Structure 1
């Protein structure tokens, strides 16, 4: 019985965490680093765009973020005041050279 109750509590904690988060997704040049930084808490998350130029930064706490694309901490492009809401994704696309976000070998 204790195991069943423990699993129920663990499951509800996972659902609760998902219910308070959102994401930022979009397109960027393949391999480029994309960073989401909370304007309030300073929380920062990084990912790299995949070979098709897609990225997704998930499990972001609700708030307003600055999303940047660039290498070695240098922002090449920046999108300000991106809202992250519960259970939703905010799309932020970055421009790609010659409108090609996918890697040249794809």
Structure 2
């Protein structure tokens, strides 16, 4: 199995999200795992789509493409990590009021 550098590099945001979820499962905040997973995944995928479309947009319209467009794909994981963290934190904050209700139920 031949895995290129770019393929392995693209896995970084997902691996970091998985490590965060493993950490959450071992704490008293384990019930935050589902919202953090969904929020982080939405943030990662949204950023990947936005950056990838921005890099490839000149090929689909009348703009002239840059010779360094491929470099944008190198930074996709670097942009996806903070986006995933922000979205995961937002999902956790939005889940917090519901968490109190779940723990109060008999």
Regarding TM over 0.5, the answer is: no
Ranked by relative contact order (alpha carbons within 8 Å, sequence separation 6 or more), the top structure is: 2
Structure-1-length-normalised TM-score: 0.28
Q: Which has the higher helix share?
A: 2
Structure with more of its chain in strand, by fraction: 1
